[in-house]
């Protein structure tokens, strides 16, 4: 949980990939953090897990992205659900 006034660090994709590659080559987490200037060693564990699950896509920053537009059938389904809720109400 974040503490009041805490500053979060953001790391670029290239640094994350470099850190993951170093970990996969057998370099310790502490060494990787010291070499690349990563302040939170546990962050490496998260990046490695994301990389193993989703590949390089897992390391991309997805915050603030736009929602994709609804397709016609999805839009119709959403309206039908809204109508059902309103009828029951």
Each residue of 64-75: pLDDT tens digit? 777 777 788 888
Distance from chain centroid for Cα 3: 20
The DSSP call for residue 60 is S
> Do residues 45 and 29 lie in contact, with contact meaning Cβ atoms separated by under 8 Å?
yes
Question: pLDDT tens digits, residue range 14-64?
Answer: 999 999 999 999 999 999 999 999 988 999 999 999 999 999 888 888 777
> Do residues 47 and 21 lie in contact, with contact meaning Cβ atoms separated by under 8 Å?
no
Three-state DSSP class for residue 80: helix
What is the pTM assigned to this prediction? Answer: 0.64
Extract the tokens encoding 65.
Answer: 């992205």
**Cα distances (angstroms) measured from residue 73 to each of 69, 80, 84:** 12, 11, 17
Position 17 scores a pLDDT of 94
Structure-model confidence comparison of residues 9 and 54, the more confident one: 54
């Amino acid at each position: 949980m974040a503490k009041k006034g805490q500053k979060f660090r953001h790391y670029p994709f290239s640094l994350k990939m470099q850190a993951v590659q170093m970990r996969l080559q057998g370099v310790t987490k502490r060494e990787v953090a010291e070499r690349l200037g990563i302040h939170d060693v546990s962050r490496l564990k998260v990046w490695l897990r994301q990389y193993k699950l989703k590949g390089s896509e897992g390391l991309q920053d997805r915050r603030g992205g736009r929602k994709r537009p609804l397709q016609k059938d999805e839009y119709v389904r959403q309206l039908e659900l809204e109508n059902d809720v309103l009828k029951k109400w």
